[in-house]
Amino acid sequence: MYRVCLLTGDAGTDATPVYRDPDLLGHVYAGPYPVADPTLTWVVSDDDGVAGYVVGTADSQAFARWQEEAWWPALRERYPRRPEVAGYRDHELLGTVHDGARYDTAVTDRYPPVTKVVIR
């Protein structure tokens, strides 16, 4: 999942050239979802590896609280804040790691948490 995230992480194109640390994008946008709620994670793979994935959360505000308690602390220890380096975006992701993810309540309040997911 982390590799697919990196290879599609620059508006659908390869983000490898814009991140010095290839794992940061996955730590923010892919990794926490299957840990927090594996029932809302689907991965497509074959003998060559992961080809794609879909991740989600039923409750964005609860997910943000879970990240703050369980996901970000270890990453904050592992990844100190770093200054911006021209041509790279690592500092943006490190800002999310250290400041936490924010979900706008004006949006999430309009769409309350999903209590039941039906897959057909």
Domain boundaries, the chain: 2-108
| Model pTM score | 0.87
Q: Which of 45-54, 95-104, 111-120 is least confident?
A: 111-120
CATH number of 2-108: 3.40.630.30
pLDDT at 85: 94
State whether residue 11 is helix, strand or coil: coil
Q: Which residue has the tokens 């309540």?
A: 105
Q: Which burial class, exposed, middle or buried, applies to 116 when counting CB atoms under 10 A from its CB (0-12, 13-18, 19+)?
A: exposed
> What is the C-alpha separation between 45 and 4, in angstroms, rounded?
11
35-43 mean pLDDT = 94
pLDDT at 119: 53
pLDDT for residue 114 is more than 90: no
The DSSP call for residue 65 is H
What is the average pLDDT score of the chain? 92
pLDDT at 100: 93
